[in-house]
Structure 1
């Protein structure tokens, strides 16, 4: 029998290990790299390099035909064009993540939504980055008013599609879709539907300890 505690409630918990020295060898426009000397439980000190990130939001926008709005965008670090859900950075420290998500949905897809819930809060790569992402579920989707936001650079080549949920699940399980927020968002949606239901999801302004904000 495998070791462990059957039925144990598991939940992440805050913890801070002593840092004896820190430096920032690189600082870009939005993100940087930090180097910390961290004291281990046995008293040894090890060096940890990681990306410092402002945080992000992503939106799984679901239309009345149970299709998800997705965008195809070139991602240079992985040399692939990935299908993703609308997403973007928190532009200002302490920014309300719901407001940021609504902005990204408008700018990337020229869409608005009536009903918002939190699907999941994740750390994308906690071994090498402190990036935290809040993924929202947006329902009651419709076209936004006004002029369409002018995009540039990689976003200028984006392709937009509305894809049925089962097709996205199939793509994830087949290894054809790789974007973190799309995978987590779609699979969380399916899990919520098969379990407690979408109305059990957290309110859109639920606390987010990883990136505290003013309501």
Structure 2
């Protein structure tokens, strides 16, 4: 056991909302020190880097939490419940947000967006072989679809501040250069 290993001792639910919750968890290290951490719980999310030969399909939407009225992002959404398979969720979000389906799917990366306080896991997929497929999320979303030129991925990366979008577009750029 290394000095960085720890044992989870349990914790308490502090607050639970419709999507996220907050828990206070306790941990013990091999030297006997115990620490307490406030941890945001979240069911997880997916993001989709959808493209054809000429464009990558992005969206602009308001993100009130960070004061952005038109943040550029890849199509994305949360898993409906903890443990939901990520690929069907990605397929659902692509149809709901930009009205597309894809015949080919590649898992690009799974990452933690904020490891200091958040249990959320984000799964990013590449979607190709695009065709029309509309689905209704049942939510009122203010989304503008943006067909960004594939030849200008650097411009799309520069135009966003969203981590999942930056990661997804950089991974796509890497794939296309190979």
Is 1:160 the counterpart of 2:145? The answer is yes
Look up the match of 1:78. 66
Unaligned runs of 5+ in 1: 1-14, 196-215
Flag the structure with higher strand content. 2
* In 2: Cα distance, 1:148 partner to 1:138 partner: 17
* In 2: Cα distance, 1:119 partner to 1:193 partner: 13
Pairing of 1:178-197 with structure 2 (within 5 A): 178-195=161-178
Q: C-alpha deviations, 1:85-120, integer Å up to 9, x for none?
A: 111111133322111111111111111111111111
Relative distance call for 1:57 and 1:150 in structure 2 (3 A) is closer
Look up the match of 1:206. none
Runs of 4+ in structure 1 deviating by more than 4 angstroms, as ranges, are none
TM-score if structure 1 supplies the norm length? 0.74
Pairing of 1:59-98 with structure 2 (within 5 A): 59-65=48-54, 67-80=55-68, 81-98=70-87
Shift of 1:35: 0.8
Structure 2 counterpart SS, 1:178: coil
* In 2: Cα distance, 1:36 partner to 1:148 partner: 39
* In 2: Cα distance, 1:178 partner to 1:165 partner: 19
The number of residue pairs the alignment matches comes to 174
* In 1: Cα distance, 2:80 partner to 2:135 partner: 20
Look up the match of 1:55. 44
Structure 2 counterpart SS, 1:108: helix
Unaligned runs of 5+ in 2: none
TM-score if structure 2 supplies the norm length? 0.88
Look up the match of 1:149. 136
Report if the CA contact (8 A) 2:153-2:173 is conserved. no
Structure 2 counterpart SS, 1:167: helix
Question: How well do the aligned residues superpose, as a CA RMSD in angstroms?
Answer: 2.0
Shift of 1:148: 5.1
